[in-house]
Amino acid sequence: MKRNRFIIVGLGNIGQALLRLLPKDYELICIDKNPASEELAKAIRDDVKVIIGDATSRLVLEEAEVENVDGIIISTTTEKVNIEVARLLHENFDTKRVIGVGITPEGIEAFEALGVEVENIFSASAIGIRNRLEQKTRTTHSIGIGKNEILEVEVHPSSRLANKPIGFLAPIRWRIGLIYRDDNIIIPRKDTVLKPKDRVIILGDPNVLKTVSEILTFSFERFPLEYGSVALAYLTGYEEEEFFGEIEYVLSVFPLQKIVFIFSQKAAEKEEEILAYCSRYNLSNREIKRSSLPLLSAIEDTINYVKGDQGLIFLSKKHTIALPGLSLFDYKRRDFLQNIVSMVSCPVLLCDGSFPYERMVIPSVEGVNTEHVLGSGFEIASSLSSEITALIVEPSKYIASDEDFRRFQERKKTLSAVSLMYKTPLKTVTVKGNPVKAVTTSLKEFQLLVIDTGEGKLRRFPVSLFSPDIVWNIIKRSSISTMIIPPMEEAL
């Protein structure tokens, strides 16, 4: 029997996605009743064999040679059909493996009685089924509490994390335990490079591990699910309609499950107006949480409410960074933003109305962790189908030191290396002069700035007068929406 030979019953959303995701060395046979299915399948993958027929017919299953395949995936959306196909296979054929999509508890029970591996329809995905077929992810049930908090994952050659050092990763609520390579056990270090076919033990929040395992096992890009699946938006009560339009745009491109609006006391006074905006922009999958706490405390309380599943925070830039009541001293406002980003452990979007994000920009300046931010930038650009440009500031030959020029050359090498790792072209623009002025002047050509909050300690007055915080000043003076990436955590 030929290896990697599978039958897909039903060419709905999951069946079509499997055609795209399964490796080219898999021989695939599809069974579907719709005569148009063959043309549809061939448009996705020209080497697929399509049988037009009813899979509940024993003759059709015999034509597909169900006994001579590695596995059969039953993925129609009609449960009676799925169970009947499974029954025919169980009673009449010696099949090696059957995977089915279960829809109701009764259907899942019937599947299991027929020896079918069940994917619940509410969590079923082509990626999950593909991982079952390739047997690249295994759950450790005998350790811990058995809630998929410990997984063994095999690194796929096409994973965007393959051939990257562990120190490159930025895990939130997960960690790497051990690496198995061939017959060797490798204790992970920051400079340990993940290789294709490595088996990696990962530990952490089960919801996050599901996404991380998919990233490791395939070329998977679903920012920001590696952080969480819920969006939070704090409302001061002063936000204009445009703010809700930007939220609607972002949620239309990122796969977040829902949004929780945090109503301040002022926002609660305008609840009717705000809900009208939500209806206008189809923000129906929402929850409202009212809070009389200050902004930071209100967000922290809501993070506890969503059980740490926050994936993205929305803030109106002009109504939070310059929120009434904050000190006019720059370092206080800078400290305020730093505290938000550190507390939420996920990206923070300072909305400034410059959507849609057709062109993104990442400044490579002193203080920015370029490698970390650029990696996130590539993920974001992939979801948005937008162009990405890196701005790098060349030091002045009149006042810069040899060390300044050395760091400049290192940043140029980093941009090239990360672009190569992600196999994605990167436009690099070199600007000269004062880095804050050079970068902020260039922003008018873009719609989204991606940056972190900078490395090192905050500069207090009067030190900040003579050694200004470049990253903070770029964020503060930015005229476009700004996505702030959280700082890296240890991967080990």
Predicted confidence (pLDDT) per residue in 342-371, tens digit: 899 899 999 999 999 999 999 999 889 888
Domain 136-217 CATH assignment equals 3.30.70.1450: yes
Does the pLDDT value for residue 21 go beyond 90?
no
pLDDT tens-digit profile of 301-341?
999 999 999 999 999 998 888 654 544 456 778 888 989 99
Q: Calculate mean pLDDT across residues 124-141.
A: 57
SS3 190: coil
Neighbours of 364 (CB within 10 A): 23
pLDDT at position 183, please? 82
Q: How confident is the model at residue 35 (pLDDT cuts 50, 70, 90)?
A: very high
Alpha-carbon 392 to chain mean position: 26
The residue type at 140: T
pLDDT at position 97, please? 84
Q: Residues of CATH 3.30.70.1450 domain(s) within the chain?
A: 136-217
Does the pLDDT value for residue 275 go beyond 60?
yes
Q: Which helix (H) or strand (E) holds 251?
A: helix 241-253
Q: Which one is the CATH code of 5-132: 3.40.50.720, 3.30.70.1050, 3.40.50.10480, 1.20.1250.20?
A: 3.40.50.720
478 Cβ contact partners less than 8 Å away, ≥ 6 residues apart: 352, 440, 443, 449
pLDDT at position 452, please? 93
Domain 230-336 CATH assignment equals 3.40.50: yes
Q: Residues of CATH 3.40.50.620 domain(s) within the chain?
A: 359-484
388 Cβ contact partners less than 8 Å away, ≥ 6 residues apart: 359, 360, 361, 362, 377, 378, 381, 424, 426, 427
Are 486 and 346 in contact, with CB atoms under 8 Å apart?
Answer: yes
pLDDT at position 103, please? 79
Give the rounded percent of residues in the chain with a pLDDT score beyond 70: 85
pLDDT tens-digit profile of 402-428?
888 898 999 998 888 778 766 678 999
Q: Of 171, 197, 173, nearest to 184 (Cα)?
A: 197
Homologous superfamily of the 359-484 domain (CATH): HUPs (3.40.50.620)
